[in-house]
A and B are shown apart, each in its own frame.
Chain A
Amino acid sequence: MKPFAYHQPAQIPDAAKLLTSIEDSKLVAGGMTLIPTIKQRLANPAALIDLSKLGNLKGITDDGATITIGAMTPHAVVAASPLVRTKLPGLSALASMIGDPAVRSRGTIGGSVANNDPAADYPAGVLGLGATIVTSTREIASGKFFLGLFETALEPGEIITAIRFPVPLKAGYAKFKAPASRYALVGVFVAKFADGVRVAVTGAGPGVFRVPPMEAALSENFDPTAVAAIKIDTDGLTSDIHAEADYRAHLVTVMAKRAVEAALS
């Protein structure tokens, strides 16, 4: 690999300052996307700012109506957490399906959300549960955070510190994996709250999105049959070597049914 400088700040303001003052610097959390990207020479950062020495960014806390997960919490910890399993069952299942065990040891929720890969799992959970992204400077609603292909509302120098999830009545996630990468060809997260149901889809298009007709149908009747006849438009969906847009559209309906089944089980 090409050489780069390496910084391990101990405080969030120091990390933010390094990020804005060093040209071509990048934050590294678990590195599960960034390290392969650098190895393939798709990124050539002058400096990496390692977030692992920052205090208070790891761990899961129960705030009653919400659960807060620190940005540097690895997927394996989320997947194994009894608290997440009880309060956010769909998210627990989602975390257990990311990549493979080695990826789950290192990869973090903050890193995944900040990267906003169009086929990553966490964006579906974050948008599906209507979570709040807590950063070094502000709080951002999930609906305003994910802006499309690898694009988020994060400003230069802004660092995610935690994700705060409202506790749903029921939640489930189902994904159809791309067999080689285990990324979502299509992943659907459903969450039922007292005031309605949210449905978020990852993998199908250039970014995570909600499906209002499914949300309306499931709010009336939270059952797999409620979404069985709802087809989504192929406009704007991804076609690539893994699947055509019409197949992805078909999978959205199938995965939505399975996610509701998972939420009810």
Chain B
Amino acid sequence: MQISFTLNGRPTTVEAAPATLVSELLREQLHLTGTHIGCDTSQCGACVVHLDGLPVKSCTLLAPALDGATLLTIEGLQGAPGSNQMHPMQEAFREHHGLQCGFCTPGMLMTAVALAAEKPDLTEADVRHGLEGNICRCTGYQNIVVSVMAGAAAMNAAKGE
């Protein structure tokens, strides 16, 4: 079936079988390999993308759900448009050592950005609750939580400018 959607700001049309997972479509057909497949069983969150602004696990999403929708992947995450800068959340992860091996990072970032966008005054408890669906096998959670708090503060500051 033909599926048309907006991918990282660009109109995109693909031909895909209904049984195609969005994670497969992104990586194998569209060659956007920033979205990682960790467990492929909806547990680990490495494949989180934003569908119409909401965090979803792309390994548990069928391609037809994209039709008419807006999809943001880690490749589309950026600072001010045209600035060639990283997103404030990415900057915070770098600054606070929010990654070790980096495999979970794309999903952590996508979940964190959605979390911070939804609730501007995040507490540490909110962050830990919000990251329940993202697993870091390096167990680097402490710095990830610190990074998300800092990234959320930076997103708020950028919004206020």
Chain A interface residues toward B at CB < 8 A: 1-6, 8, 28, 31-32, 35-36, 39-40, 48, 50, 52, 76, 80, 99-103, 105-106, 180, 182
Question: CA separation between A4 and B118, bound complex, in Å?
Answer: 36
B133 close to A103 (CB less than 8 A): yes
Apart from A48-B62, A101-B111, what are 9 other A-B pairs with CB-CB below 8 Å? A2-B19, A3-B19, A36-B41, A39-B40, A99-B133, A102-B56, A102-B60, A102-B111, A105-B54
Known: A1-B19, A105-B55, A105-B56. A6 touches B64 (CB 8 A): yes
CB contact between B132 and one of A31, A36, A48, A100 (< 8 Å): that residue: A100
Residues from chain B with Cβ under 8 Å of A35 in the complex: 21, 42, 60-62
Interface size class of B (residues with CB under 8 A): 20 to 34
> Within 8 Å of chain A (Cβ to Cβ): is B45?
yes
Interface residue B51 (Cβ < 8 Å from any Cβ of A):
yes
Q: How far is the CB of A160 from chain B (nearest CB, A)?
A: 20
Closest 10 CB pairs of A and B: A100-B133, A6-B18, A105-B54, A1-B19, A102-B57, A100-B132, A35-B60, A102-B55, A3-B19, A105-B56
Q: Across the interface, do B43 and A180 meet the contact criterion of CB distance under 8 Å?
A: yes
Asked if B60 and A32 sit within 8 Å, CB to CB, the answer is: yes
B130 surroundings in chain A (CB, below 8 A): 101
Given contacts A1-B19, A2-B19, A101-B115, contact A36 B62 (CB under 8 A): no
Closest to A1 in B: B19
Q: How far is A154 from B40 in the complex, measured between Cα atoms in Å? A: 31
Q: Within 8 Å of chain A (Cβ to Cβ): is B158?
A: no
> What is the minimal beta-carbon distance from B112 to any residue of chain A, in angstroms?
10
Q: List 8 A-B contacts (CB under 8 A).
A: A5-B18, A28-B62, A31-B60, A48-B62, A76-B54, A100-B132, A100-B133, A106-B61
Residue numbers in B under 8 Å from A100 (CB-CB): 45, 132-134
CA of A101 to CA of B126, assembled, Å: 11
**A103 to B55 alpha-carbon distance, docked (Å):** 9
With a CB–CB cut-off of 8 A, which chain B residues contact A4? 18-19
- Measured in the bound complex, the distance between the Cα atoms of B18 and A5 in whole Å is 7
Which residues on A sit within 8 Å (CB–CB) of B18? 3-6, 48
Partner of B42, one of A3, A6, A36: A36
Complex Cα gap A262–B8 (Å): 42
Complex Cα gap A10–B78 (Å): 37
B30 within 8 Å of A by Cβ? no
**Contacts of A180 on B, CB cut-off 8 Å?**
43
- Which B residue sits closest to A38, measured CB to CB? B19
- Which residues of the other chain, A, contact B157 by a CB distance below 8 angstroms? none
Whether the pair B42, A103 counts as a contact (CB closer than 8 A) is: yes
| Complex: A137 Cα to B61 Cα, angstroms | 29
Instruction: Give Cα A1–Cα B24 distance, bound, in whole angstroms.
Output: 11
Q: Looking across the interface, which residue of chain B has its beta carbon closest to that of A97?
A: B129
Q: How far is the CA of A4 from the CA of B17 in the complex (A)?
A: 9
Complex: A76 Cα to B129 Cα, angstroms: 14
